[in-house]
Each structure stands twice: as structure tokens, then as C-alpha cells.
Structure 1
Amino acid sequence: MNDDSTPPDVRAGRPRSTRHISGAPGWVSLTSRDLVATQKFYSAVLGWEWRSIRLGDPFRVAQIDGVPVAGVAAVADMWRMAVSWTAYFAVESADETAARVQERGGTLAVGPLSLPPGRAALLADRDGATFGIWEGEVFGAWEAWRRASPVLIRLHTRDAFDSAIFYGEVFDWASGRPGGCEVQYDGAEVVVVSNGEEVARIESGALGAAPDPTIRPHWQVHFAVRDVLGCVRAAQAHGGSVLRSTDREAVLRDAEGALFTVYHRPTGPLGGIRP
């Protein structure tokens, strides 16, 4: 993580502001009820190790080979929130971004809240897909996450192009601003690119009234692993369940019901059962 392309302030361990990467997806976090049980489940299924962060006791960061992967916040009961995975986007101002979302037909669920060293909010787009925003300091963990890409996020929504317009207006995508995201097209899918790397995809086909939460509009978090079927077996052995599974990709529920996907990738910082 110390090559010449790493910003000097990150190499020195100093924080940067989200204004330098505003609009880019750069973190995923799980709201849970039981921190101990959550850590045991994901350690067994994805091989994660854990460290504390200065936000306090309910918060942990998961790592693989020293690379930060995700956050866990045991605040579902405290904040009366659903147990779920959420993708977070860096923003220059949480208050201004929340206002943009509401002006464009989205909703504000929680916040913006002050969580030193920054501010966060949970929102939903106009089709009901939830996402988070973060304003404030980011340390090497965020930069390492973006560079290592152990996680992909994909929006399953009613109309990919309509959603791309919504998020583009909210986050200034395709505006040409330094550090901002660009938008490309891959057939019927919209591809979000940051610093030349794919960081998110948006695809059409979700149904707003579907009883199955995997069919309703949502941001799905995908973790790269070496052994998909090994993760499936571990999830079932530790109280989770399997919604769909092949040897290349599986949609799982953890022991508290949060949905996530594991997909096969043979190299890089990977979790899961190692062959």
C-alpha cells in the first residue's frame, strides 16, 4: 500500500476529507444486533479478522490479510434499524447530499448523525433501495479498501438508466470533477467507474412490490472469495441460509437475516474457506 500512487497523506497515516473522493462508493457496513455472534459468523464464513475503531464499542472493522473489508455496527436495536448490509458513498456534505436525495424523490431514514470524525446518514432512493453517505475524515483504511477492491456493490433496480440519473445528480457523477466517478454502459447495465476502476453496477429488473427482498430494489454487497461452495457450507453450519448457489456465486443470509453475495475471484485479498 506504499507505492508512489498512494497519496502522501495516506502513506503518512494522516486523514483526508471525503471531499477528495466525493461521490465514490467506498465502504460497506452491516447493522447487527449481536456483535459477538456477528463476528463469529463472518469469521467462520469469510475468514475475517477484527479490530476496534474509535467510534466505540458497538463498532468493528473486518480485515483480510490486513486489508479492511467492511464495518459492523451493533446498533440495529438501539437505532431501530433493520439488520442489513449497506453501501456507503463519500460526500462533501452529508446535509446537502441528504437534501438532494429528498428533492429528487428519495427519503431520509436516519441522520445525518455526528459520528466523530465525521457525519453519516442512511437514505433510500426513489425506488426504495437503501444506501449510506459519509462526510468527514477518511484514513488509509478507506484508500486501501478502494485499491484492493475486496467488495463490489450492485444496484438491482426497476430502471437502471433512471437510477443512474438519480444517483448521478445526487453524487455529481459524470461531472468531470477531480476524483469524481464516471459512468459507462455495458449492454443494459450501467457501470460506475472511479479512478479507472469499476466500483459499482446498476441493473434493471427489480420489482417494487415483490415479496422476496432479493427481487425488490436494493444495493447488494458482493464479497470476493476463493471457494464459494465452502462459504455456503460454512454459512449453513453457523446458522445462515442459502437463497441461490452455484460454484461461482451464492446469495446468502447470515444468522440474523442480512443478505449478501459471495463470488469467485482467484486472486487478491479474499475471504472464505481457502482450498
Structure 2
Amino acid sequence: MVENKTYAEGAPCWAQLLTRDAAAAERFYAALFGWECHDQGGWSTARLGGRPVAAITPFEQAADPPAWTVYLAVADLAAATARLEAAGGKLIEGPVAGYVLASDPAGATFALFQPGEFAGAGVTAEPGAMSWAEVNSPDGEVADAFYHAVLGYEREPVPTGGVDYMVYRSGGEPVCGRLRMDEHWEGVPSHWMVYFDTGDLDAACATVTRLGGQVPVEPFGSPYGRVAVVSHPAGGFFSLREPG
């Protein structure tokens, strides 16, 4: 478990689900992770042991299926936004309330967030909390160049059995990753994937299925533990990780 009050530049610090049926999503994640959802006047903060871990926001125009948005911490939002536009990114929303919603050159959506009074997730890397995030992109070199220009990531290739995977580091510490989508990903748009930890991956996947969700990618081994890709009933995809 890691208690968080500050985040390194470019580190995933928050996750938000935009969905047309927020009430159903809250019930699903409460049953899966034990989240307690608190209404904030139009959106809800999900808490784990009293600490904020994510947001669930009702939105009639949400994508179908809905998607999790990863927030990346920056020390200077205006400067990071300028770098983003210069590197070929696209602004979608903001700046407002300390963040901008944007997309990278391949269309993957993410947010830049400058922590203020609210610093982001209060805990990471424990069951029910975010532990990792990665951008899945069809062109690894373009993604690497873009995120290096915007957030200064140092890049470290990781041998993963023929998969083109890069760990992004900030200040020498691993903060997130990049996976190049090959022919097996045909038809899947570029996107950011958020990971939540679990103490028992097989049991968690069974719970997902029991609650009406799906497990499109069954548990498999990785250098960082066992992983599965799952979704809640409305189709909000995310990954579950059981640390090795």
C-alpha cells in the first residue's frame, strides 16, 4: 500500500468514469472493490477506507461503452498544455478546475491535472485502488515522442515476450507505461488503460461475471503480477492486477 499526498510529474493520480448510468456503476464497483460512493453534487467520489480513489460521473453523452479517463499530474498546467499542443495533442475540454481533457496524436484520451487542495487519489497499490496505467497505441515511437515532449518521461523498454512495451519513468521512478497495439488489436482504438489491484484475481474475475460484467482477457502472467482485462456491465473496460 502507498499513501499518496504528492505525485511525480506525469504520474497517474486520479481516474474518472463517465457513464450514462452512474448508479449502476456505483453498485458494481461497491460490490467488486468495497468502494463507498459519496455524492459531490453531480458526481460521486469513490472512497476506500475513507480515502478517495476515483470518480464516477453521470453524463448523458458518455461514450458507449463508457471509458475510464486517467489523470496525469503536472506541476504547471499552463506550461504542460502548451507543450501538449506543440507536440500535436488536441484539447478537448478546459483548462477548468485545474485540469484539461486532451487526446494524443493517435486519439487516446487522457487528462492533465495540477493538484491543488485536492491532490488526487489518497492511496494506490492496494486492493481496490489504482496501481498502474498505460497508453495502448498503434505507433509506439510516436507515442513515446509525444509523452516525452509533454511530460518528460524517461523511457525503458521491457522484454515481454515479443510485445513492444515501454515503461515511462519520472525522476527515475516508474509511473506508467506504453504498449504498442499489433494486429491482434485490430479495430480497437488507441486508449489509456487503468489498473486496479486485487488480492485474488480469480475471485475478482468471478465476481465481475456474477455482477453482469465480462472478462474479455482472462488472467495471464506478466512481469508485474497476474493481470486480466474486465468490464462492468455497461462496458467500462479496465484491468485487474494481482501483484506477484
TM score, norm. by length of structure 1 = 0.71
1:87, CA displacement in angstroms? Answer: 0.8
What secondary structure sits across from 2:31 in the alignment?
helix
Larger Rg belongs to: 1
Q: Could you tell me which amino acid in structure 2 is paired with residue 249 of structure 1?
A: V
Identity of aligned residues (%): 27
Q: How does 1:70-219 map to 2 (within 5 A)?
A: 70-74=54-58, 76-77=59-60, 80-82=61-63, 83-109=66-92, 111-114=93-96, 118-139=97-118, 141-142=120-121, 144-145=122-123, 150-173=130-153, 182-187=154-159, 188-194=164-170, 196-206=172-182, 210-211=186-187, 213=188, 216-219=189-192
- Tell me if the contact between 1:30 and 1:71 (Cα under 8 Å) persists in the aligned partners: yes
Aligned positions, number: 231
Q: Which consecutive residues of structure 2, in runs of 5 or more, have no partner in the other structure?
A: 221-225
Whole-Å separation in 2 of the counterparts to 1:129 and 1:32: 18
TM score, norm. by length of structure 2 = 0.79
What secondary structure sits across from 2:53 in the alignment?
strand
Out of 228, 234, 237, the residue aligned to residue 250 of structure 1 is: 228
Instruction: Classify 1:97/1:224 alpha carbon distance in 2 versus 1 (closer, same or farther; 3 Å).
Output: same
Q: Could you tell me which amino acid in structure 2 is paired with residue 64 of structure 1?
A: L
What secondary structure sits across from 1:57 in the alignment?
coil
- Tell me if the contact between 2:11 and 2:176 (Cα under 8 Å) persists in the aligned partners: no
1:67, CA displacement in angstroms? Answer: 4.0
Whole-Å separation in 1 of the counterparts to 2:82 and 2:157: 28
1:146, CA displacement in angstroms? Answer: 5.5
Counterpart of 1:43 in structure 2 is 30
Whole-Å separation in 2 of the counterparts to 1:141 and 1:25: 9
Instruction: Classify 1:232/1:24 alpha carbon distance in 2 versus 1 (closer, same or farther; 3 Å).
Output: closer
- Tell me if the contact between 2:133 and 2:193 (Cα under 8 Å) persists in the aligned partners: yes
1:24, CA displacement in angstroms? Answer: 2.8
Matched, 1:224 2:197: yes
1:27, CA displacement in angstroms? Answer: 1.4
Q: Could you tell me which amino acid in structure 2 is paired with residue 62 of structure 1?
A: A
1:184, CA displacement in angstroms? Answer: 2.7
Instruction: Classify 1:134/1:47 alpha carbon distance in 2 versus 1 (closer, same or farther; 3 Å).
Output: same
Give the strand-richer structure, 1 or 2. Answer: 2
1:93, CA displacement in angstroms? Answer: 4.4
Whole-Å separation in 1 of the counterparts to 2:78 and 2:182: 29
Counterpart of 1:270 in structure 2 is none
- Kindly report the root-mean-square deviation, in angstroms, between the aligned alpha carbons of the 2 structures: 3.1
Whole-Å separation in 1 of the counterparts to 2:173 and 2:50: 21
Q: Which consecutive residues of structure 1, in runs of 5 or more, have no partner in the other structure?
A: 11-15, 174-181, 267-275
- Tell me if the contact between 2:10 and 2:170 (Cα under 8 Å) persists in the aligned partners: no
Whole-Å separation in 1 of the counterparts to 2:233 and 2:22: 12
